[in-house]
Structure formats: structure tokens, C-alpha cells
Structure 1
Amino acid sequence: MARESFDKEIQFLRMLALAGGAYSRQQFAERLGISVHTYDKTLRNLKEMLGTLQQGNLNEQGSELSEGLRYNYYESADPLLLFLFRAKSLKETESIRLTLLLTALQSQELTAKDLQDLCSDQMPAEFPLPDEKTVRGDLKYLEDVGVIMRMSGTRPYRYKASNDLIDRLSEEELLDLFDYVDVVANTQVPSVQGYLLRATLKKALLKRGFDTDAAESHRYKYHYHSRILDEAHLYPIFRAIQRRRTLRFLYLSPKKGKNYSSQNTNPLFERETEGNMQTLLPLRVVYDHQYGRWYVIGHSPRLGLMKFRMEGLTQVEEGESVSEDYFTQRLNAILEQMKYSWVTDTLRPIKVAARFYNPDRSGANFVRERVEAQGQWGTITEESDSTFRFEIIVNGVNEIKPWLRSFGSSCEVLEPSWLRREFIAEWKEIRDYYESVRENL
């Protein structure tokens, strides 16, 4: 898949997940910045891509696509169209060819020549037949990523699928492993690798005759589909940080309502882009648990410290490298500026104090446990059996406010006094929303 296409698919899927059926085709296309024709074409490409990876017919593809977008509170289905990650950076011919190779190697050991003959027999007529060099390149790639293994012996070498771990597990052990991966993938970040492993284990259970719906013992309401899609940028950014390289990208601010800007190659249809081209030396990646957002923090030669939400990054390209001394200097400067950042704020440090109320009932103190787990560098001081005091210095209060507010009546803001007054005004406004319309209602 071309890089530009992948950017478009990500933004397309994000809007489908967040807006569902709220937009008409015309409204959806306008919000995304594409034509209705491109909207139809992109939707058709997604269905075809899903069919290639699932090897189903077109009717089933449409059904599967709808199921991936259907909202159900108790459903813990795979996150929104995770298949997009499997198709990333693969041409259509590559995805079909790799599928054929992996399917054949599941049950037998084959040479490169055997696999070339198999591809020649089973490749669709509209695609070119691979030569031996292409097949050997595919085998080397699959061996490097650990999907297949080369058997010991003399030439010609034989290959088989690397399923030893799964094959040696008993049915009970395989179910335990599936449950563990299911929990971790749904609760930890980043998640994409965990969901890909979960899909592999699910196929192994199906192969042994298990009904995976009955086998799943955990149910989740998955909140942040966009978090999964933003992980497409995560590893390229990590690679740029490790290599001390700059990144160049087109940034579409989420606040402006534009999600995508096409790369116009025809001068007749060229138009001014909605976003801004940025050059950044990436230094840190930050995840906001409150809203399920990824941020990249870095240094701009022109503007200094810069923060970007990953969902606005498109057309990401790696640039030139910088010296280790320069990189270390910029990293230390940013770490000092963000020393007291709740997430990414770099405003003036301020002390925040709050009183938390323990639950009245006996058992787990979920209020205390949550403050200890999420309170970062804040300190806790016991006040009484029913309350404790939490104090922390943060860069501004904009990012910590939603966290304090989420505790409801279990949290009372004490300092600063102006923040306390803001909370009082907010709770009074909420109370007014629930005033009775009639006295006898």
C-alpha cells in the first residue's frame, strides 16, 4: 500500500469509528477533504483488502466490515479493522503471495522451488507470476521476522512455519496463553503487537476445534479505537529517535476539523494544502491515558519545543541525522521543561492539593488504589480513616483537571483557591442541569 494511501485509510477508519453513521457520504467526504468518488473507492479498497487477508468472498467482506464498526457495549471484538496493519507497506501482489506461502508451510516442509510452483498454480490470473528470486526474497523476509524457519540439512533448503511453541502447548495451556494475551492487549499500550498475537492464537484455537466466542472469558468495552490507528506512527518515530534523525511531515491540527490532505500530482487539480509542513527532531513519545492520545515531543530549529498529536501526522518521512551531542543537549532541555508535566504541558509549575474520600463500604479502596497508580510523583498524607490528602506540583492545571474531576464526589480540590472556585462553579452548573422541571415530577 502506498504511504499516502495508508495515511488516508487511517483517517478514514478513525472517522468511521468515531462518527459511525452520523455523516452522509457527502458530509463524510467533505470532512475528510476528498471527493465522494474517492470515498467510494476507499471503502471498496478496504473491503477488498479485508477479503485478501481473510480469503473470504465479497459479501462476507461487507458483513465483516460492518461488524467491525458495529457498537456493542459488551462486545470485545478485535479493534477496528486491525487488518490495516497487516496490509501496511504491502503491495496487493505481495499480500496474496505471502498468504499462499504461509498457508502452504503450515502443514509441510517445502523448498523455494516447490513454493514457486505452488504460487504459479494458485496466483490469480490478473497478477504476474513470481520468479525464484522473488520467492527467495519473501522467504528471507519471513525468516527474519520469525514466521518461518529454515530446516537443517543440505541444499536445497526446506522451510516450514514456525509453530513449535503453539504446537507444543496443551489445550489448557493454549487457552491460558490466549486469556493472558487478551487481557494485556486490551489494557496495556502499545497494543497492536498484542492484538496481532491474539489473532494468531485465536486461529490456533479454531484449528483445534475450539469455539473462540465460548472460550473468551473476558469482555471489554474498548474506548479508544483511534489509539490503535495512531500506533502506525509509533514505531517509525521510535526508529527516528534511535537513529537521531529528523522527521518531516504534514500536520493537520485536530482542532481545525480537517483530517486528510491529498498529494495532488495533477497541476489541473492542484490546490493549497490545509495543513502545515513541519520538520522536527523527535525526542519523546507521550501517551495520555485520560483521552487515549499519543503525542510526539521534539525540537524545531525555528520554534524550539514542539508538541504534536499523532492523529494529525500524515506523509511522515525520515530526514537527516544530527550529532549525538546535539541530540543529548536538546533531550536534556526538554526533560527539564517537562519535569512537572502531567502529560505534555510546559506552563508555570503550580502546587495542587486535593482531599480524597475513601469509600464508605468495606473491601477494596479503589479511590486510594487509583490515586496511587495514576498520581505520578504526587505525595499522599493520611488525614483520617475516611480521608487522605494528595499534593503535587504540575505545569499548569489544564491536564490534571479532568483527572481530578473524574473522581466526582470522592475528590475535593483544596489548592489553589482559584481552582477550587472553578470546581465549585462547575459542580453548581451540573447540579442545575438536574433541577426538577416540575415540583411534583
Structure 2
Amino acid sequence: MARESFDKEVQFLRLLALAGGAYNRQQFASRLGISVHTYDKTLRYLKDMRTSLQPLSEKQESDLSEGLRYNHYESADPLLLFLFRAKSLKESESVRLSLTITLLQDQTLTAKELLDACSESMPLDFLCPDEKTIRGDLKYLEEVGVIIRCEGGRPYRYRAANDLVDRLSDDELLDLYDFVDVMANTQVPAVQGYLLRDTLKKALGKRGFAPETSDIHLYKYHYHSRILDEAYLHLIFQAIRERRKLHFLYLSPKKGKNYASKNTNPLFERETEGSDESTLPLLVIYDHQYGRWYLIGHHAKLGMVKYRMEGITQITAGEAVEEAVFAAMLERARQQLASSWVTDTLRPVRIVARFYNPDRAGANFIRERVEAQGQWGTIREESDATFLYEIAVNGTYEIKPWLRSFGSSCEVLEPVWLRKELIAEWKELREYYESV
């Protein structure tokens, strides 16, 4: 899949997940900056992609377009994950590697035996691989741990690396699936966990477990945008390791536009809504409260810059910089972010808040949440019913929603101007709920 095409599908699915059925076709296309014809073509492409990766019943296939729009939250499976499977490999590679893994499930084969088997089983639409290609595939699959080279001399024999799953009892396999399910839904990044979860689900199916077995808990805690933004993490982390600049088109979330097509036809060329950016990536930061990824980089003219990952499209790696230069920029960025709640770099402010313990027996979930999420802030006891929380943080813009989320269990004491801001906000909320 072309990179630009993947950008379009990412933004398409993000808006679909966030807006659901709130927009009609014309409104949806306008928000994306595409035509209604392109909207229909993209939706049809996603349906074909989903169907090819996971065969659907006739009813499921007929309901898929409506399910994409309205019912994506009803399943414990992250609907958007199939996009990663489709992007990860070229179509010919995907078919060839899938066939190789299938052939090695129940037997050991040499490279030449595998070549003969692949030549007999490859679909007619694809060229048969040569021995060099097969050996390259075997080397790749061995490096990523999918297959194992058997003991013995040349010619080497290979088999699928199913030892872990095969040696587990049914109860152990179910326990492992439940553990991976919870971790994939709560930890970041999550895409690799979801892929492992799918593999374990298939293993359960091979042992005769009904599909409903894996959906007993129906536990789900994922941000769809977070999963989609992980598409760029591998490239960004690789650029950070190699100290390479990144070039991309950035669409600021404030602009209200989610996608800008790459103008390849001069007859339809138009001015793009985004800005062309060139930055040296330094850090990636994840905001748990809103499920957002941020890229922290260094711009030649602006110094340290921050980008919301959801606005990055058409990303490519560029030239490398010297190690000493990268280290100096990274250290400077860490100093600026040392007191940031997430990414704020304003002047540090001392905040003191009083938290009220629950007035019922049992776990003190207020105290536990402050201890878990309060970062470097300090806690000191005030009375049996209250405790004080103090922190010096860059600005109040990012920490204010966290303080506000505690409702009546949190009272800001200092600074006075922040206390007055929150009082005004709560008065405004009270007016909304006055009887009509």
C-alpha cells in the first residue's frame, strides 16, 4: 500500500471512530477534504481489505459498511487493527510468507523442498519465487522468531516455532490469552499485543474452543486514535536511533482538517491546508488522559517544537546529524520538559490542592489515583478526611483537566488565580443543570 494511501485510510478511520454516525457522506467527505466519490471508494477499499484478511459471512459482509460507521465499539476486537496487517507487507510477500508458515506448521522442510512446495501452491496471480527469495524469507522469519532451524548439518531444515503454544495446556493457554488481552488494552504501544492476541485466539480455535470463549470478559479499554497513531512509531523511533531528520506534512488539529491529498495530477492541483515540516525527532510522549501521542523535535529556526501525532502525514526520513549535536538538543529538550505535566514548557507554577477521602469504608480510590497519576508531586496528611497534594509544574493548562476530573473530591488552594478560574467554571456548570 502506498504511503499516501495509508495516510488517507488512517485519517478516514480516525474520523469514523471519533464521529461514528454523526456525519453524513457529504459532511464526512468535506471534513476529510476529499470528494464523495473518494469517500465511497475508500470505504469500499476498506471493506475489501477487511474481507480479504478475515473471511466474513454474507450477513457480516452486507452489514460491514454500517458497522464501520456505527457499531465499531460493540466488539472487543479493535476494528482499526486490520489496517496494520494490510500495510505491513506487500501483497506478494504476504501471500508467500503466509504459505511458508502454513507449510512449516506440521512438518520440517529444507529451502529446496519449500521452494517446490511453494511453486505448487502459489496462486496463479503471483509469480513463483526463486531459491534466493525463499532463503531470504527463511532468514527473516527466523530472525523474528516465527520459525526455528532444526538441529543437524546442511541442508538445514526449518519448522514453525509453535513450542510455547503447543506445550501449554488448555487452561494455561486461556490464562495467557486473558493476560495478553488485558495488557494489550491497557499498555502502550499496543499494536504488537493485539497481534499476539489474535495469534492466541487462532490457537484456541484450532483446539476446538468456540469463538465466544475469547469474548467472555468483553473487556475493552482502548483509544482508537491511539492505536492508529502507532503506525508512525516504528519510523519515528528508527529516526531517533539513527539521528535522522523527518520531513512530513503537518495538519494542525486546530485547523479542523484531517487529511490533505498529495497533488500528483497538475489539472487538479490545489494549495494544501497543511504545512511542510522538517524536524529532528528527539522524544515521543504519550498523554494517558486523552490517548494522544506527541512528537518532540528540534526545528532549525524555532528550536524545540511539539506535534500531535494525529496531524502528521506523508512522513519520510531524511539526512542524519552528528551524535554530539543530537545529544545537546536532546538534553536541552529534557531540561525544558523536566517539569511538564505532559509537554507544556511555560513558567513553573506551584500548585497545592486538598483531596477529600471517600466517606465510606473500603479502598481509598482517591488516594490511590493521586499516588498513581500524580507524577512527582508530594502528598502530606492533613486530617483523617483530607490530604494535601503539592507539585511544581510548567503552567496549568495540562494539569487543570486532571484536577477537575476529581470533581468535589478536589479543592485547589494555590495559586489563588487558578482557584478563582475553577470556581468560575464550576458556577458555569451549575447553571447548566439548573431546573428549567
The two structures have a TM-score, normalised by structure 2, of: 0.94
Q: Report if the CA contact (8 A) 1:29-1:36 is conserved.
A: yes
Aligned-pair distance for 1:218?
A: 3.1
Residues 259-287 of structure 1: CA deviation (Å, up to 9, x unaligned)? 11122222222222211111111111111
Q: Are 1:359 and 2:349 an aligned pair?
A: no
Describe the shift of the 1:258–1:405 C-alpha distance in structure 2 as closer, same or farther (beyond 3 A): same
Q: Report if the CA contact (8 A) 2:356-2:409 is conserved.
A: yes
One-letter amino acid of the counterpart of residue 356, structure 1 = F
Q: Report if the CA contact (8 A) 1:76-1:220 is conserved.
A: no
- Pairs within 5 Å for 1:366-381: 366-381=365-380
Counterpart-to-counterpart distance in 2, 1:305 and 1:213:
49
Describe the shift of the 1:213–1:109 C-alpha distance in structure 2 as closer, same or farther (beyond 3 A): same
Amino-acid identity (%):
70
Q: Report if the CA contact (8 A) 2:76-2:215 is conserved.
A: no
Alignment correspondent of 1:171:
170
3-state SS, counterpart of residue 429 of structure 2: helix
Of residues 203-212 and 161-170 in structure 1, the stretch that sits farther from structure 2 once superposed is 203-212
Residues 115-143 of structure 1: CA deviation (Å, up to 9, x unaligned)? 44444444333333333333333222222
One-letter amino acid of the counterpart of residue 52, structure 2 = T
Q: Report if the CA contact (8 A) 1:76-1:222 is conserved.
A: no
Alignment correspondent of 2:339:
340
Aligned-pair distance for 1:360?
A: 0.6
Q: Report if the CA contact (8 A) 1:280-1:299 is conserved.
A: yes
One-letter amino acid of the counterpart of residue 250, structure 1 = L
One-letter amino acid of the counterpart of residue 4, structure 1 = E
Alignment correspondent of 1:5:
5
Of residues 411-420 and 365-374 in structure 1, the stretch that sits farther from structure 2 once superposed is 411-420
Counterpart-to-counterpart distance in 1, 2:424 and 2:234:
43
Q: Report if the CA contact (8 A) 2:355-2:410 is conserved.
A: yes
Counterpart-to-counterpart distance in 2, 1:404 and 1:152:
60
Residues 287-308 of structure 1: CA deviation (Å, up to 9, x unaligned)? 1111000001011011101000
Q: Report if the CA contact (8 A) 1:53-1:99 is conserved.
A: no
3-state SS, counterpart of residue 371 of structure 1: helix
Q: Report if the CA contact (8 A) 1:3-1:89 is conserved.
A: no
Counterpart-to-counterpart distance in 2, 1:381 and 1:193:
40
RMSD: 2.1
Of residues 266-275 and 182-191 in structure 1, the stretch that sits farther from structure 2 once superposed is 266-275
- Pairs within 5 Å for 1:88-127: 88-127=87-126
Residues 46-86 of structure 1: CA deviation (Å, up to 9, x unaligned)? 2222233225578655546655665487x551213211112
Counterpart-to-counterpart distance in 2, 1:382 and 1:354:
12
Counterpart-to-counterpart distance in 1, 2:379 and 2:131:
66
Q: Report if the CA contact (8 A) 1:68-1:77 is conserved.
A: no
**Number of residues of Structure 1 aligned to a counterpart in Structure 2:** 436
Q: Are 1:393 and 2:398 an aligned pair?
A: no
Aligned-pair distance for 1:333?
A: 1.0
Of residues 54-63 and 91-100 in structure 1, the stretch that sits farther from structure 2 once superposed is 54-63
3-state SS, counterpart of residue 247 of structure 1: strand
Alignment correspondent of 2:20:
20
Residues 224-256 of structure 1: CA deviation (Å, up to 9, x unaligned)? 111000011112111111111111111111111
3-state SS, counterpart of residue 227 of structure 1: helix
Residues 321-379 of structure 1: CA deviation (Å, up to 9, x unaligned)? 11121111111111111111000010111111110000011110000000000001111
One-letter amino acid of the counterpart of residue 3, structure 2 = R
Alignment correspondent of 1:421:
420
Q: Report if the CA contact (8 A) 2:247-2:318 is conserved.
A: yes
Describe the shift of the 1:209–1:99 C-alpha distance in structure 2 as closer, same or farther (beyond 3 A): same
Describe the shift of the 1:138–1:59 C-alpha distance in structure 2 as closer, same or farther (beyond 3 A): farther
Alignment correspondent of 1:87:
86
Q: Report if the CA contact (8 A) 1:351-1:394 is conserved.
A: yes
